[in-house]
Structure formats: structure tokens, C-alpha cells
Amino acid sequence: MGEPSPISDEDFVRMAYQVIMQRRPDDGGVASWTEFLQEGNWRKRLVEAMVGSEEFRTLGTESLRTRLHWCRMTWISSLPTGDDVLDIGGSSPSHPEGAMFQMEWTGRPSTMTIADLPPDEQYHGRPAYSQDEPFVTDWGGRVVYVHSSGEDLVTSGVLDDRTFDGVFMGQVIEHLQIAAVPGVLEWIRDRLRPGGWFAFDTPNRAITELQTPDAFTDADHKWEYRANELVALLTDAGFRVESQAGIMPMPQSLADRVWNAEETYSLPMVTSDPTTGYCLGFVARPA
């Protein structure tokens, strides 16, 4: 028997699409990847690149929760940075540097202050590390924990002598008592240094009501907001909205008024239209 004929670069690309991406290849993709190989790159590198691509990461076998996690990471990684930052509700059960860094935020502050509930009351369970002493990060920054609810920060005075370059609240505002939200926003505004920023994300009720029309998506949610409600709250609290984002956009579900999770896997992770996002993302600064 003779030696088997070597597979051509183009045929290898087509096979890779079928095996890795689980779909028929498009002409543009075939041409691009074939050129990649013909430039001298090894086929192993092509496989590694496909497996590391956003498309592979978001195949339909991925759970909706995981998809949302990736989308939130994409948005959080784009947020402003600062040397002294406060994260309200930012404790992580496994990462002592906090949830923002776990979500791949690019900031490297000298001081990160994390205000969250006492360890036994934290939303994701008691952390697997002590929060009694500051944690020193790989880049030499300090992470300091303050145990307080978001509402109590306003009245306890525990951080009233501090100001910050930025304040973040990830998936927190929906857990706050509705009547307390304006006061929390005003307290944050007063803690920001000149040029400081406030960023937060939260479920978008325009979408979540399609998923759970008779209840909020979490029993602990006090309210799930729409984009216009949050713009009004921020404006009333003395903020200027700098940017809005739709995190894990679902425009077809919104247009049809029918929940369809499958559409999220073929769309960008974040768009500039907040109304279509499963979550709303805001960056604001004092007006």
C-alpha cells in the first residue's frame, strides 16, 4: 500500500470547523484560516486558536449562567481604573483580592476597599479565607474589608472619612431596599474625588420579565430596574451618565416579547444599547 495522501490546508480547515466549531465552515473563515496556515503557522496553532476563540467559548452547550458570566467579564474588563477604589458587595468566596479581579478587571489600585456583609451572611456563602486583615496582592496593593450592608454604609459612618477614585457595585443595586437607593447613590457621589467614576450592573427587567414574568429572577431582589428608571435615579442623585451597556444582548426576545435564550450565543457579549441587554451596565460621574 502507498503512503496516504496528505490533507490539504483548506481541507484541514474545513475539518477543524466541523470537529471544533460543530458547524459547516463559511467561505470567509476558510480563506482566512487557510492563509494563516500558508503563512507557515503549524496546524496545532490553528486548533489552539479555534479552541480559544469567542465562538468556541459560546457554543450552545454552554449554560446561560456561564454565558452571562463571560459577558459580564467582558464589560467589567473595560471599566475605568483608579488608585483607590471601593467595591460595594465585592467579596468573592474564593479570591481574597475580590470579585472585580476575579472578573478580570484591569485596574491595579494601591488600595481596594471591599464593603460586604459579615462573612456568615455573604450572598455566595462564607469565604474560604479570613477577611480580618488586609490582603496584599501580587502587584503590592492592599485589599481591605469592611463589613456592612450597602444601606448601612450611608448611616454607619464607617467610610465617611474616605474618598475614592472609583466605586463599583456589581449585581448589588437590585438587592437594596428600594427606598434606600437614592440615599446610597448620593452617598457614593459624595465619596468620589474630582474626576471619579461610579460603575454598576444589574438585571434588566425589560428582559427578565420575559424569563420570569410573575417574579424577579432571585428571591432576594427588591426590584429589577429598566434603563430609564436608572437614568432618572442617577440624574436625581447628581450624576451624569457617561456610558450605558447592554450586557448579554437579547434584541429578538425583546422585539418578539418571547424568551429565547438561544439567541445570546450568536450575538456580541456587550453592546452600547442597554435596553436589549439581559443586564444593564452604567458608568457615571458626578454632574
Domain containing 24 equals 10-57
Residue 41 DSSP label = -
178 and 241, same structural domain? yes
Would you say residue 213 lies in a domain?
Answer: yes
53 and 69, same structural domain? no
155 and 42, same structural domain? no
Cell of 106: 484591569
264 and 200, same structural domain? yes
- Predicted pLDDT at 7: 85
Do the beta carbons of residue 104 and residue 134 sit within 8 Å? no
- Predicted pLDDT at 55: 67
Contacts of residue 209, defined as CB under 8 A and 6 or more positions apart, other chains included, come to 224
% helix / strand / coil in the chain, to the nearest 5? 40, 20, 40
Would you say residue 1 lies in a domain?
Answer: no
The residues with which 282 forms a beta bridge, in sequence order, are 200, 244
Do the beta carbons of residue 35 and residue 13 sit within 8 Å? no
What is the pairing mode between strands 84-88 and 164-170?
A: parallel
181 and 39, same structural domain? no
CATH number of the domain to which 181 belongs: 3.40.50.150
- Predicted pLDDT at 66: 81
Tens of pLDDT, residue by residue, the chain (287 residues): 444 457 899 999 988 887 877 677 778 888 989 998 999 888 888 888 887 776 676 565 457 888 899 899 999 999 999 999 999 999 999 899 999 998 989 999 999 999 999 999 998 889 999 999 999 998 999 999 999 999 999 999 999 999 999 999 999 999 999 999 999 999 999 999 999 999 999 999 999 999 999 999 999 999 999 999 999 999 999 999 999 999 999 999 999 999 988 888 888 999 999 999 999 999 999 99
Give the torsion sign (CA, 9, 10, 15, 21). Answer: positive
How far is it, in rounded angstroms, from Cα 206 to Cα 234? 19
Its pTM surpasses 0.85: no
Domain boundary among 36, 57, 78: 57
40 and 146, same structural domain? no
170 and 50, same structural domain? no
Contacts of residue 147, defined as CB under 8 A and 6 or more positions apart, other chains included, come to 115, 116, 117, 118, 119, 131
Q: How confident is the prediction for the chain on average, in pLDDT? A: 91
Number of domains in the chain: 2
Would you say residue 4 lies in a domain?
Answer: no
